[in-house]
Amino acid sequence: MKEEYHLLIQIPRGTYDVLPEDSEVWQKIEETARKVCALFNYKEIRTPIFESTDLFQRGVGDTTDIVQKEMYNFKDRGERSLTLRPEGTASVVRSFVEHKLFGLPNQPAKLYYIGPMFRYERPQSGRTRQFTQFGVEVLGSKDPSVDAEIIALAMTFYKTLGLKKLKLVLNSLGDPESRAAHHEALIAHFKPSIGEFCEDCRNRLEKNPLRILDCKKDHDHPLMKTAPSIIDFLTEPARDYFEKVKGILDEMGIAYELDPTLVRGLDYYNHTTFEIMGSSKGAITTLTGGGRYNGLVSELGGPETPGVGFALSIERLLLALEVENISLKSETSLDCFIAAIGEEAGRKAAVILNELRQAGLRADKDYMDRKVKAQFKQADRDRSGFVIVIGDEELQAQAAKVRNMADGSQEEVAFTELADYLKAKIN
């Protein structure tokens, strides 16, 4: 018998099960996300968990780590190359284009999703191979108040759940012109002394010099502080746009910190980028990442359509809740528990149990053939308000003993009156 345990198949690496004692918390989080989205008038969109590999290569960007080494891709029986989605935005945009949602009267499209994402990575704290994102996308508006709105939405979500230690970090990557100018300036800045930097940075120089600013090893190199900031290369319209976003956040009373080195990992971002940081086991990590991606819709074959969005990880949210000592678990309780003594009483208990449930009461009984005392213990574990005792005497009298578990008082109640009696007591 026991040896078979060793042969059992284990859960895949980087995945985990949400067990009954925790699923309640997940439900509460998802419920909160849906409620907040309703407040902001965002509608849910559900897209497949796998898509054409091409979608992510084009959408997320060929040079990103996600595409280069983290995708779960496979061939189906028709030799199609498919990929388990590593993020949500590409799918939403694909769906938006495919169903021509840009033609609907309700513009912009304000959408949200909650679901699993997959990245082939080494699992560690706050990082699993299957993880869950709650994300929001607004397609069709270039109004800076939309940028502010999604940030407000994310903050509202966290605050509703009770998180306090949050930090919003903001930056602008500008439009393509701003980025190109900054790109050149960075290369010019680092190139002469690139030999003093780590290997990674040397590789980054030509490919993506912006990433050098993110390097932890060379963080203290003097050239880091004097590096050209994207902010100084923003074109007039880009600068103006960023000022408007900041202005609205200011007036909303949402505090932020500017970080010109905030670079997001996906290629499609431009203009506003932001992260919401929170605590996790003493360290600070990114809870939410988002920004504007004005070129993505056309990149995926749709009409020129601006977009903004964010994605946040439920797993990291859970870590942050833990650090801040916030429990979302409710006192689950039962209205009543039936303790039966003897076989005939057991049968009667099953019938009464069903009647109580039909009457809308949360009720349960023992299924383990336990002694009365143990049945009471079980009722305690389930935090049951009342225990109904049925034995031979009660069957004779057609009336059960009903014990109030809070004060220990006990009354005799006819079988036919049980539901009404309990309902009256509970209200």
User: Restricting to residues 362-381, which ones interact with RNA according to CB under 7 A?
Assistant: 368, 370-374, 376-381
* Cα–Cα distance, 314 to 86 (Å, whole number): 15
Burial class (CB in 10 A: 0-12, 13-18, 19+), 254: middle
Q: Which amino acid is at 326?
A: I
In DSSP terms, 364 is beta-bridged to 337
Task: Tell me which H or E stretch contains 422.
Answer: helix 418-426
> Is residue 405 at the binding interface for RNA, with CB under 7 A as the rule?
yes
Q: Which two tokens stand for residue 385?
A: 């308000």
Q: Which amino acid is at 237?
A: P
* Cα–Cα distance, 403 to 419 (Å, whole number): 14
- The minimum distance between CB 242 and RNA, in angstroms, equals 20
> Is residue 122 at the binding interface for RNA, with CB under 7 A as the rule?
yes
- The minimum distance between CB 92 and RNA, in angstroms, equals 14
Rounded alpha-carbon distances, angstroms, from residue 303 to 43, 51, 98, 306, 389: 22, 21, 11, 9, 70
- The minimum distance between CB 418 and RNA, in angstroms, equals 14
110 closest CA partner among 79, 154, 155, 149: 149
Per-residue x/- mask for RNA, residues 90 to 109, rule CB under 7 A? --------------------
Per-residue x/- mask for RNA, residues 180 to 219, rule CB under 7 A? --------------------x----------x--xxxx--
Q: Is the CB of 93 or the CB of 101 nearer to RNA?
A: 93
> Is residue 77 at the binding interface for RNA, with CB under 7 A as the rule?
no
Q: Which stretch binds RNA (CB under 7 A): 3-11, 222-230, 243-251, 325-333?
A: 3-11
Q: Is the CB of 230 or the CB of 266 nearer to RNA?
A: 266
From its phi and psi, is residue 369 left (phi > 0), alpha (psi between -120 and 50) or beta? left
Q: Which stretch binds RNA (CB under 7 A): 44-52, 243-251, 258-266, 325-333?
A: 258-266
How many helices (H) and strands (E) would you count in the chain?
Answer: 16, 16
- The minimum distance between CB 292 and RNA, in angstroms, equals 14
Find the binding residues for RNA in span 295-324 (CB under 7 A): 311-313, 315-316
Q: Is the CB of 240 or the CB of 412 nearer to RNA?
A: 412
Find the binding residues for RNA in span 8-47 (CB under 7 A): 10-11, 13-14
Find the binding residues for RNA in span 279-298 (CB under 7 A): 281, 283, 285-289
Per-residue x/- mask for RNA, residues 139 to 178, rule CB under 7 A? ----------------------------------------
308 closest CA partner among 153, 197, 77, 165: 153
> Is residue 387 at the binding interface for RNA, with CB under 7 A as the rule?
yes
> Is residue 335 at the binding interface for RNA, with CB under 7 A as the rule?
no
Count of residues touching RNA (by CB under 7 A)? 71
- The minimum distance between CB 48 and RNA, in angstroms, equals 19
In order, the DSSP letters of 230-292 are GGGG--HHHHHHHHHHHHHHHHHT---EE-TT---SSTT-EEEEEEEEEEETTEEEEEEEEEE
3-state secondary structure of 301: coil
Q: Is the CB of 242 or the CB of 376 nearer to RNA?
A: 376
